[in-house]
Structure 1
Amino acid sequence: MLATDVTRLASRLPEVVEGAHNGNPDFRLAGRIFATLWLEEERLVVRLTPADIATLDEEAPGLLTPIEGAWGRRGWTNLDLWDADEAFVGLVLLAAWRRLAPALLDDESP
């Protein structure tokens, strides 16, 4: 999976704005980051709930790994892009987006 594919998938979600975080592209909803692309490392970092992580891990075991330390305890999770297909990345982005989406936007989700 390429970074351009991730950008395309993220931009399909309602009200998403692309920004930059530590020199890396990120995706925001209402000003809050829900995903960041680490281009050099070819990984996506997303913020998920424990329930989302469990569900997604059943879909594709071992692809998601929590970030170490406090960030990981807050739900920030790594996804190596080389190992993931488009359908799975789309599910991960949607789960992270929904974590931030207001109820009104969530009704419009793809």
Structure 2
Amino acid sequence: MVTIDNMRKLALSFPQTTEEPHFEKTSFRVKKKIFATYDDKNKRACLKLSEIDQDVFSSADRTIIYPVDSKWGKQGWTTIEMERVNKDLFIDALTTAYKEVAPKNIQ
């Protein structure tokens, strides 16, 4: 299980990351671009991955990590069930999402 506090600590450790509200969710951004959100009500994170990374992470367990069910999912947005995900897998996925969005010169 991964908590919002775990997610926050890791996300804010990345260079130039900010935490901001995004509708009813918490978002983590680099250079104003969202790479992750957290939905406290449903205990889910949503990460921006490449299509290839989305497929790789989803292959671990498609009931825990899976594409968002809409056109956003086809753009790499990936849902993670926070109460069920392995912490090390989540750390890898969040780090990958940050690198997907962050400019290369600040990674």
TM-score over 0.5 for the pair? yes
| Corresponding residue number in structure 1 for 2:76 | 75
| Corresponding residue number in structure 1 for 2:90 | 89
- 1:61 maps to a residue whose letter is D
TM-superposed deviation, 1:4:
1.1
SS in 1 for 2:83: helix
Alignment pair present for 1:65 and 2:74: no
Q: Is the 8 A contact 2:54 2:67 kept in 1?
A: no
| Corresponding residue number in structure 2 for 1:22 | 23
SS in 2 for 1:61: coil
Give me the whole-angstrom Cα distance separating, in 2, the residues matched to 1:71 and 1:55.
Answer: 17
- 1:22 maps to a residue whose letter is F
SS in 2 for 1:13: coil
- 1:68 maps to a residue whose letter is D
Using structure 1 for the length normalisation, give the TM-score.
0.87
State the superposition RMSD in angstroms: 1.3
- 1:86 maps to a residue whose letter is K
Moved beyond 4 Å, runs of 4+: none
Alignment pair present for 1:37 and 2:21: no
TM-superposed deviation, 1:95:
0.9
Return 5+ residue gaps in structure 1 as ranges: none
TM-superposed deviation, 1:23:
2.3
Residue identity (%) = 24
For each residue in 1:11-65, what CA deviation from the matched residue of structure 2 results, as whole angstroms up to 9, or x when unmatched? 111111000101211100000111000001000001111111233234x332211
Using structure 2 for the length normalisation, give the TM-score.
0.89
**Aligned pairs, how many?**
105
SS in 2 for 1:6: helix
- 1:36 maps to a residue whose letter is T
